[in-house]
Amino acid sequence: MTLSNRNRLFVFLTVFSLLLIAGLAVYYAFSFYHGMQETFPEGKSTTPFYSKSFLLRYSPESVLLACLLILFYVPSVSIIILIYFEKTNLQEISYLGIFLLSCLAEGLRITVPVFSLWKNNTLLMMGLTRLVFFGRLTASIMMLSIALYYQNTKDHQTVRSYVFILVFVTILSCVIPINSMQILSTCFYPYAYYNSFVFLRLLFIFLTFITYYITGMKYAVPEYKKCALYTLIIMIGHFFLQEGDSVLYVITGGYFFYFGTYLYLKNIHHYYLWK
């Protein structure tokens, strides 16, 4: 991906996500003024260690907050990249752009309670579920790709990797069976082999950490050893926001997600500034 095309992607992500957030805010204000409120499905919780305590019990507000944190993450990181990495052609940043695109797909879960889609819009819910599946699998693969394609400066190889990953995940998203008779507490239908894909995403988190650390040792780059830890923090935070429906999961996930990203971007900016 060329530098100009990469920057256009981040501009698009910034504008689109801000317009989406503004549109949702206007609709929410309009609904609140007219006495209409968002409704949440009482679905099955997928988080472990569930209890009736304040921190671990199901909280619809926490689900809403998780979606908002993911949505605000997209323009926040995009703007930072446009300011500090505008003229720096790094493969890490290019792959991070696709990661942000997957976050945008995940954040669309917020439309389910806001528009009450779960009540009588089965087709829209199925489409949203496929988008969520696409976003979650793409995010995991992209973070691993950042670690795998270290020091790869060939744009055509990067583009080819983008196309292969996106086509593969898109096809899988379109064909995976969805159970529309049940809904999860995180506002989408469960798809087939749900727990298996959760395990796969956790495996990607572990592989990304190991790959980053081995890369740092192989090329004697201390910053990449740090990136291994920071990426682990980001992906754990992202996972908590994806799966969390309680105060503890969402607050912890949000902190890890944002703080880990800050440390990661600061680290690679410092490394390439002095390289």
Q: What is the pLDDT of residues 63-116, one digit of tens each?
A: 999 999 999 999 999 999 999 998 888 888 888 999 999 999 999 999 998 888
Q: What is the pLDDT of residues 46-58, one digit of tens each?
A: 777 666 778 888 8
- What are the C-alpha distances in Å from 138 to residues 1, 73, 101, 170, 205? 17, 17, 9, 9, 13
Choice among 149-153, 223-227, 254-258 with the minimum mean pLDDT: 149-153
Which amino acid makes up residue 69?
Answer: L
pTM here is: 0.92
- Whether 151 has a pLDDT exceeding 60, the answer reads no
CA dihedral 187, 192, 198, 199 (to 10 degrees): 170
- What are the C-alpha distances in Å from 229 to residues 34, 148, 260? 47, 15, 9
Matching residue, tokens 């942000």: 100
> Using 50, 70 and 90 to split pLDDT, how confident is the model at 222?
confident
- Whether 191 has a pLDDT exceeding 90, the answer reads yes
**Looking at residue 156, what is its pLDDT?**
58
Q: Please give the domain boundaries of the chain with CATH numbers for all domains.
A: 3-35+56-274 (1.20.1070)
**Looking at residue 120, what is its pLDDT?**
77
Chain-centre distance for alpha carbon 260: 13
**Looking at residue 153, what is its pLDDT?**
52
**% residues pLDDT > 70 (the chain):** 93
Nearest to 142 by CA among 187, 91, 105: 91
